[in-house]
Amino acid sequence: MPDLFGDETPAGYVQVAVERGIDRYPDGLTYALPPDMGSVAAGQRVLVPLGRGDRPTPGYIIETLVQPDLDPSRIKFVARRDDAEPALPEGLVALARWIASYYVAPVGMTLAAMLPAPVKHGIGRVVQTLIDLAPAGAAAPGRRSKQQRRVVEVLTALAPADRPVEIRDLAARAELRTTGSIKRLVEQGVLVATTRSTIQSAWASRAVDMFVPERLTPEQQQVFDAIAPTLDDGFAVHLLYGVTGSGKTEVYVRLIERVLAAGKVALVLVPEISLTPQTGGRLVARFPDRRVAILHSGLSAAQRHRQWAAVASGEAEIILGARSAVFAPVADGRIGLIIVDEEHDGSYKQDQVPRYHGRDVAIRRAQLEACPVLLGSATPAMESWHHATETGRYRLHTMEQRVPGTALPRVMLVDFAEQMKQYRDRRVHLIGPTLRGALIRTLDEGGQALLLLNRRGYANYIACADHGCGWLMTCDDCDTTMVYHVNRRLPDGGYVRCHHCGTENRLPKSCPMCGTRIVTFGLGTQRVEEELARIDTRLREGGSMMRVDSDTMHGARDYHAVLDRFAREELKVLVGTQMIAKGLDFPNVRLVGVINADTAINLPDFRAAERTFQLVSQVAGRCGRGSSGGLAIVQSFATQTPAIALAAAHDYRSFAASELEARARYRLPPHARMARILVRDADLPTCVSIAHGVRDRLDGLRSTLGLDAGPGAVRLRGPMPCPIARIAARHRQQVEVLAPGPGPLQRLLAAARAAGWLTPGESIAVDVDPMSLL
């Protein structure tokens, strides 16, 4: 091996985490530095030879070494350093190593996830040629053309601070059609040219809310007075429980003002930036003289690169983004405050390696940066509420009144079954008489409405009309039913789709078992849209209704366009999935209708009640934000279910107390820590065998580590089939690991990882602190 690299004497050694799913070396691979490479530091991106074929592979330096533990003659040299982008701050490298350890993920893949793909690939990067006057006496003597003299005159007239000038801009100022005259002046030594790499993109901010209250409400002032004096006191976690419309955003803004005044940077996380354009608009409007960087996938690749570069260069003072914005490359020691808005939202959980939770990573980053973190929600996660009210790890602040001029909406909880009995025809009705009447009145009075049904498509059951046959259309590759979607442009009028693997087929014309006709029943947003068009012709003919779900919204731009139309009141009704439950603040929304509050309540997941409460509470809170008040009508087949009844009563405290009591009784999070090990294979016996092997090995490690008894005992459940036992032609088994705290859980997982058999990949996925058990 040494002869491949000559007899060079290394300038030093480094540990490199390569961008591959290699988990055998959690501390990275050792490489030597060529003598001519110069100084390097943790966070620097490099290219290294990997494997027997020495394939050039990108990676990150995670540590510099004085002397390696290996034989130096067997160590390969780093191929080259990638200087296209600045190195990641050392704090981010430390955060990546924590994520890799806690969430059982290769550190190289974790670091790779921190750098957006457009940045890695240099998308939007261009080389600019900048022109300036040459030093006196540098120019060769000779005659100049009229165009050349004009170029020199333009540059001479500019102040030194306004030079150099980009070559095409200079040509335009000198009224030249081409840059030829400028290039000849450079050749003659009259002008000097330098090149600079930059990222070109355009980004239009949306300043949607220019209102600035004269003074804070008493509750807002109390929260501000409690947090602001502690901003310089180091790490702390604050939980702000504020009902919808209580003005949490205004508190955020005032705290950001204090952070900026201290010369620090504010990092603001929201669940899905493409669904909350108002947040970005408010920050841009309130801080017109400050650079606000927006980090999210809804931007073009070049825009994402430009925003990331603005953060890395220190130009941005406020950073706003979704989950991955927690990896913003802010220089070490510069972050003054991290805000996690709607901290309860499941969108903060990443569903691919590394399977991190954005809220918890934000807390860890704040700890590394020695700054406070503020979590805000009207329906805090059970984990956050537990730490704020029981363990004392978080400091609780409350705002339980809406801002003046608004009031919490009146909520009517109606029995769906009783409502349907009032209809005499045989049509399928998803909108009961109570909601129907309220909708018509709202439209007559010039108001707007939001209707929520957290299920896409037209019908979620496709079956044989003959009850004696019993045929039901399911996906060939998943253990789930197919969903019918209407599409009038197709000859059959629609198609069927699996919402888990994406398979699409034509709707059968008859039952494949007995030849009887096919019926479609169930519910979906398309069916609600169809019924609304029958209820009020104004919605059908005036184009004043829009369906908002992932079938109609193909990106952030589509959603922003719909919200713009809704803000201008061109649209009167939005019907959609949970997308419309997040981040909407429109004063003319007077009615919210929940078509069926029961869609998730009976799922085999211990978080089902919590998610149902949060969804109903959040969507109900979208109305009543103007002077006209608001009404929320919740249709349910189970009106006595605590999660639904307490959400309708705006009683979060009672729900949280009841839910935490139940979790404690069954020793479930947050009264325990959980990891879910998911095994997948196309062959069922193989899948079951691998899952049993995982369980048996964990049992052995548990005994070896002394974690099978006593106060630190770790419990194992399974293996067992997942609630959805097959997705995309792969069978699924799971083993659940529960521990009284993070320490015992991490000891067991670390030992399994070190043994080399608990490695995330195609067959095995490890999800620490899972948000879904389906």
Report pLDDT digits (tens) over 425-445. Answer: 777 788 889 999 999 999 998
Contact call for residues 275 and 559 (beta carbons, < 8 A): yes
Task: Find the mean pLDDT for residues 378-386.
Answer: 96
Share of the chain above pLDDT 70, in %: 92
Torsion (CA) 669, 674, 680, 683 in degrees, nearest 10: -90
Task: Find the mean pLDDT for residues 699-703.
Answer: 92
Q: What is the pLDDT of residue 234?
A: 93
**What stretch of H or E contains 241?**
strand 236-242
Report the alpha-carbon distance of residue 312 to residue 300 in Å, rounded. 18
Q: Is the pLDDT of residue 482 over 50?
A: yes
395: nearest Cα among 241, 205, 549: 241
pTM summary value: 0.85
Across the chain, mean pLDDT equals: 86
Q: Which two tokens stand for residue 303?
A: 């825009």
Q: What are phi and psi of 291, to 5 degrees?
A: -85, 120
Give the contacts of 378 (CB within 8 A, at least 6 positions apart): 241, 242, 243, 244, 246, 248, 617, 618, 621, 652
Q: What is the pLDDT of residue 742?
A: 92
Q: Longest C-alpha distance within the chain, in Å?
A: 101
Q: Which amino acid does the sequence have at 533?
A: A
Report the alpha-carbon distance of residue 66 to residue 217 in Å, rounded. 58
Q: What is the pLDDT of residue 699?
A: 93
pLDDT in tens, 621-664: 887 776 667 888 999 998 889 999 999 888 999 999 999 999 99
* Residue ranges in 231-357 assigned as alpha helix (H): 248-261, 277-286, 301-312
705: nearest Cα among 669, 734, 670, 739: 739
Report the alpha-carbon distance of residue 618 to residue 242 in Å, rounded. 12
Give the contacts of 554 (CB within 8 A, at least 6 positions apart): none
Report the alpha-carbon distance of residue 58 to residue 45 in Å, rounded. 7
Residue reference for tokens 């929940």: 594
pLDDT in tens, 586-615: 888 899 999 988 888 888 899 999 999 998
Residue reference for tokens 């590759």: 477
Report the alpha-carbon distance of residue 155 to residue 163 in Å, rounded. 8
Q: Which two tokens stand for residue 217?
A: 């409400």
pLDDT in tens, 351-379: 888 999 999 999 999 999 999 999 999 99
Q: Sheet containing 265-269: which strands, arranged edge to edge?
A: 292-295, 318-321, 265-269, 335-341, 372-377, 236-242, 395-399
Burial of 568 per CB tally in 10 Å (0-12, 13-18, 19+)? exposed
Q: Is the pLDDT of residue 533 over 90?
A: no
Q: Which two tokens stand for residue 698?
A: 């964990």
Task: Find the mean pLDDT for residues 14-31.
Answer: 82
89: nearest Cα among 353, 333, 296, 340: 333
Contact call for residues 422 and 433 (beta carbons, < 8 A): yes
Sign of CA dihedral 34, 40, 42, 45: negative
142 or 390, higher pLDDT: 390
Q: Is the pLDDT of residue 207 over 50?
A: no
Lowest mean pLDDT across 30-44, 256-270, 614-628:
614-628
Q: What is the pLDDT of residue 37?
A: 81
Q: What is the pLDDT of residue 205?
A: 41
Report the alpha-carbon distance of residue 566 to residue 574 in Å, rounded. 8
HSE-up (13 A, CA, CB side) for residue 477: 15
461: confidence class by pLDDT, cuts 50, 70, 90: confident
**What stretch of H or E contains 534?**
helix 525-535
Q: Which two tokens stand for residue 86?
A: 């600045």
